[in-house]
Structure 1
Amino acid sequence: MLDPQYIRDHLEAVKANCKNRNVAADVDRVIALDDERKRLISAMQVKQQEANASAKSVGQEKDPAKKQDAIARGRQLREEVGQLDAQHKQVEADLKAVVSTIPNMTHPAAPIGALPEDNKVIKVWGEPTKFDFKPKDHVTLAEALDLVDFEAGSAVAGQKFYFLKNEAVLLELALIQYAMDTLLKHGYTPIITPDLARVDVLEGIGFMPRGEGTQIYSIANSDLCLIATAEITLGGMHRDQIMDEAKLPRKYVGLSHCFRTEAGAPGRDTRGLYRVHQFTKVEMFVFCTPEQSDAIHEEIREIEEAIFQGLKLPYHVIDTCTGDLGGPAYRKYDLEAWMPARGKDGEYGEVTSTSNCTDFQARRLNIRYKGPKHKGTRFVHTLNGTAVAVSRCLVALLENYQQADGSVVVPDVLRPWMGGRERIERKS
């Protein structure tokens, strides 16, 4: 979240930022509530001083009648302090709720807009795959090669669930190992995270675990939710901690299942693996100083690109427009891989993203650092990025590596984990 003092000092800029990001937030109410909060704190301090003085006078008073009056006065003052404290807590809660609706500030280079065409393509790698036959979509390929069972998944868990089978299982494990090996070479610490997190952790990261339109599955009769990404658990791992600046940046690569309700998701991607309720993802997460975050954001994007270049999958990178950033992101890049059977004649589809969230999440989760250059503590910056979201990567792999006979060639970089398989063919 933004600091209320920052909002006060940059009121018009915050309002303009909300407009650019298509967010309806009552910024002026933040100032009004912050003023009321300060007034109540001052009033409590005055009343507490009076209560302390009254308590002291009780011990010094010799006259019984006056002593009783002092005791009664002290009791009244304590009640008034309690009433002011209750009002203060309510105003604090109201202030936090309003501030939580205000998105992060935006990088000055981020394109302004809210439509897909407002996103800016900043890099293209490779040419869209060409075929001398009509390419099949990944669903047709996967079912013919006995790689995915959508019908059984639906019968067991409902629509948008599936069973991976045979070589698809090996492909998932190979993609995970390939991504992990890549990240280890860049100094990332591997983590397997819980698949559940508390509601306040999700809120700290910037997710809305409750309410209409949420993408989060909640566990009944508990404050736990299934995570939508390891960003949630990795970000929450150091909540309420103070880090040593000398040990920053801290770079983690997390492996987890991801669960999403896909409430209100576009209807065009209901078929197949592109938009599902459960998938496996390898996620990067970094804690760093404010001075480091812009450079690390570019580093994460370069790692994502290196992974897909290694897979030899054509892609482009977009600088995401303000209306599609999401609340915590200061800047976000999406990497979209070419999917030959997507749409009418093939389209790019999002497979990874990376966001610099500056200190937005750290303020909510109270994650700070200290070092010799600064008095006291400062909030860290947090960044996240997808190394591999397996289900969407499988879409791109199957469609780009398909052959005229319906088989699928295994990318060279994955073969060490595929038991020597170079091609996936129909079962006899």
Structure 2
Amino acid sequence: MIDLRLLREDPDRVRASQRARGEDVDLVDALLSADELRRSSGVRFDELRNEQKSLGKLIPKATPEERTELLKKAEQLKADVKAADAAQDEADAEAKRLLLQLGNVVHEDVPVGGEEDFVVLETHGTIRDFGAEGFEPKDHLELGEALGAIDMERGAKVSGSRFYYLTGVGALLELALVNAAIAQATEAGFIPMLTPALVRPRAMEGTGFLGQAAENVYHLEKDDYYLVGTSEVPLAAYHMDEIIEADKLPLRYAGFSPCFRREAGTYGKDTRGIFRVHQFDKVEMFSYVDPADAEAEHRRLLEWEKQWLTGLELPFQVIDVATGDLGASASRKFDCEAWIPTQGKYRELTSASNCDGFQARRLSVRMREGKKVQPLATLNGTLCAVPRTIVAILENHQLADGSVRVPEMLRPYLGGREVLEPVAK
């Protein structure tokens, strides 16, 4: 959630942020009113409680005649205090409800607009000219099936559409990617983590995934657990309700987990192959930092993602994601999009988000420096979303005979293999 002091002191900035996101601007004024009522209710409760305490001290000293009147007044005060306490709780709950609906305040440099209004910041690598090489590129599914690496047909038979098996070299390729990603993250100072895939509602709500993103979340109603769509959720909640000493920051974790997404609203979109699926594995970087270092850490996460994609020898571009496509928690987000030859365009592979204190306030994760205690900042960055990375590797490194060259960085994790070759049917 945002800092209420910012809302009170600069409501126009929060209104502008909501407008840029394409969200409800009236929510700001509703929250301002609710916050004022919450504070005035608190003042009223304190006044009545103090009066009640003062009256309690007078009764033992009063004459019998005075005591009767004072006891009568005490009964009325007791009822008034109870009513004021209830009103305070109700006002506090309403203010919190509205505050949880408000997205993070967007960074002033974020481009305004929707999904297609991003700004390209950098372009890396060279896009292959398959025509000059004398062959038409195959898509990742055709390649994966020929390699004995991807089985969509049996995935659909067992679990339905958008499910798959990785088999043979496909499974080995995933393990190679995960091990290489964890090795890079560990070398950069991240602590490797294997995280829970099921979390309680507070963890999911605290990271901002039960607002506009709720339609893509799997909920197990019987047990009231949520399946995570990213290890960002359990990593953000790892230090929930804790105070971290400032000299322990930054804290950096690299989480590996299965991820589950309903992909609601994407009917008919990316239905072929494993680019957009309901279950996949991912290595996610997560940082807890001093708020003063949040923007610098955001750039660091991006550099680690660029290092990863460069190591995989993939052509890619870096974009500054527009306001309407940020998600509730991020104030700014950079995506790295890899070139997909058969689609003829760049597609998102990694993402780095600066959430400032938004998640930390919701999850009560604070830092202490001297006597000062305040919310810290959280950031997250995808290092390797496995299926999409496999898509990019297969298509960009394919050879004319249907085999696929293994990027040098991955060869030590694939037993020295230099090429993945088609298997006999």
TM-score normalised by length of structure 2: 0.95
How far apart are 1:212 and its partner, in Å? Answer: 9.1
Distance in 2 (alpha carbons) for counterparts of 1:327 and 1:217: 18
Q: What RMSD in Å do the two structures reach over aligned CA positions?
A: 1.7
Partner of 1:230: 231
Between 303-312 and 211-220, the greater mean CA deviation after superposition: 211-220
Aligned pair in 2 of structure 1 residues 71, 224: CA closer, same or farther (>3 Å)? Answer: farther
Partner of 1:396: 392
How far apart are 1:115 and its partner, in Å? Answer: 4.1
How far apart are 1:260 and its partner, in Å? Answer: 0.5
Partner of 2:297: 296
Distance in 1 (alpha carbons) for counterparts of 2:10 and 2:259: 37
Residues 37-56 of structure 1, C-alpha deviations (whole Å, 9 max, x = no match): 11111110111112222333
Between 97-106 and 270-279, the greater mean CA deviation after superposition: 97-106
Partner of 2:405: 409
How far apart are 1:66 and its partner, in Å? Answer: 5.2
Distance in 2 (alpha carbons) for counterparts of 1:143 and 1:30: 54
Partner of 1:154: 156
Partner of 1:329: 330
Structure 1 residue runs of 5 or longer lacking an equivalent are none
Residues 345-373 of structure 1, C-alpha deviations (whole Å, 9 max, x = no match): x211100000111111111111111113x
Q: Which amino acid aligns with 2:127?
A: P
Partner of 1:419: 415
Distance in 1 (alpha carbons) for counterparts of 2:80 and 2:273: 62
SS at 1:291 equivalent: helix
SS at 1:281 equivalent: strand
Distance in 2 (alpha carbons) for counterparts of 1:260 and 1:19: 28
Partner of 2:309: 308
Between 227-236 and 142-151, the greater mean CA deviation after superposition: 142-151
Partner of 1:90: 90
Q: Which amino acid aligns with 1:238?
A: H
How far apart are 1:400 and its partner, in Å? Answer: 0.9
TM-score normalised by length of structure 1: 0.94
Task: Tell me whether 1:17 sits opposite 2:13 in the alignment.
Answer: no
Partner of 1:371: 369
Q: Which amino acid aligns with 1:156?
A: V
Partner of 2:114: 114
Partner of 1:265: 266
Q: Is the 8 A contact 2:312 2:409 kept in 1?
A: yes
Partner of 2:122: 123
Residues 148-200 of structure 1, C-alpha deviations (whole Å, 9 max, x = no match): 11122122222111111001111111101111111111111111110111111
How far apart are 1:286 and its partner, in Å? Answer: 0.4
How far apart are 1:268 and its partner, in Å? Answer: 2.6
SS at 1:341 equivalent: coil
Partner of 2:190: 188
Q: Is the 8 A contact 1:4 1:31 kept in 2?
A: no
Aligned pair in 2 of structure 1 residues 249, 396: CA closer, same or farther (>3 Å)? Answer: same
Structure 2 residue runs of 5 or longer lacking an equivalent are none
Distance in 1 (alpha carbons) for counterparts of 2:416 and 2:3: 55
Aligned pair in 2 of structure 1 residues 327, 347: CA closer, same or farther (>3 Å)? Answer: same
Residues 127-152 of structure 1, C-alpha deviations (whole Å, 9 max, x = no match): 11222211111111112222111122
Distance in 2 (alpha carbons) for counterparts of 1:266 and 1:392: 18
Between 407-416 and 312-321, the greater mean CA deviation after superposition: 407-416
